[in-house]
Structure 1
């Protein structure tokens, strides 16, 4: 498999915030990604699409050093944030994950912790000191940016686990935003949600994209078309490791893709 070249971003996309260069990944002896390169534009949404098992979620976790939490995992290549490789020995893992946040497929608020304490939980993990009045402002700001403030402002001391599924997911987004990340990674954030909650999360993504670079894994082609400006189509064929078949402007990818496999996938002919 030849390396996917790091494609220049389309006109109007500006500089990339995050760049993956020749990323290969293994779990033990099993290679799951083969020399994947992708530039992700600043303050826009990049959607990672493709069938299950093609390495999208693994690639996403590599982007903020969560891949290395798996004992048998290894990787090669570089992930550059603003030009600096986050895997350099001088870069602290906590700092990389503060700057590149993650929202998981299943909402995971701390259930016994209040809504307020859920939002500020990341401050302790990153060693960030904020005054009480500063925390109050940060909670309101983060919940507002996550589209949840009006719904919970009168019950901030109630448990986060008492919220609905969609509200819990937005609480997790607020928790990630509280440490002021530059990039927000989202691994199928709507897959466990009802259509109404999905629509609200998509609205939140659209609102956040002007401030934060977002990379989202989704199996929902309509969602990818609605929320993203750029797509990358991953595929793993006949037991080979996952790789990018095609990447580019979302409208182009859905309307006139270059590779026939991309056309087949986005039009539902497989996957």
Structure 2
């Protein structure tokens, strides 16, 4: 079986500010996301969590009029350094979106290996077969689809499609996996399965997840960062630290109010 993951890597955002045109949406956000752990980004809608997530693999710059300041360091190297290829950042820092987005007409097998083509990676047929099995197993999907790998990815259920997207992200051997509310469109059973997958992957890949579900943040993450944008000001991190601390004994009253459902 091929080894899917690279060495563990931390991701370190330093004084990241982000704009959409003239509107500043993040103000000097700094956060260290340790290697081999799950970091949950929590906070009310509109406080910049998803924007921050998109700055971590250079997706923010795809939006017309968007701009950014600060550094995002992956294992010490700034992904925004001049001359650093955009494709390098995308290959090393994968992304799973809120809505499952497999290539619907493409087979389950071809969905998993699609990233290899995009990154120009050439592998033998047997290595590809191993990779498909390994990635689907890591995404908790192999047992369910092993006998229908040539069927379209679009025929799977919503929860299975999301796990297929996780398998596709893993196939290019990323060091970090970003997840933007990966369970918000799923039923409770599928949500539990995705959470189980996150827990299993966390030992071999660094995961950053945006979630509005406080119970989910408490279940899946080891570290939490609470974002807030008050009175029309840009989003900032109010508090970050071990999940147990953020939920059990936060230092800021606003954090306590949010995690206990008193606002947001």
Mapping for residues 1-271 of structure 1, pairs under 5 Å: 17-271=10-264
Deviation at 1:131, TM superposition (A): 0.8
The 4+ residue runs of structure 1 with deviation greater than 2 A are none
Which digits, 9 at most, give the CA deviation of each residue in 1:74-133, with x for residues without a partner? 000000000000001121111111000000000000000000000000001111111111
Q: Count the aligned residue pairs.
A: 257
Gaps of 5+ in 2: 1-7
Q: Is the 8 A contact 2:38 2:209 kept in 1?
A: yes
CA-atom RMSD in angstroms: 0.8
Alignment partner of 1:244: what SS?
A: strand
Further displaced range: 257-266 or 125-134? 125-134
Q: Is the 8 A contact 1:16 1:39 kept in 2?
A: no
- Compute the TM-score of the two structures, normalised by the length of structure 1: 0.94
Which digits, 9 at most, give the CA deviation of each residue in 1:143-163, with x for residues without a partner? 000000000000000000000
Gaps of 5+ in 1: 1-14
- Compute the TM-score of the two structures, normalised by the length of structure 2: 0.97
Q: Is the 8 A contact 1:16 1:40 kept in 2?
A: no
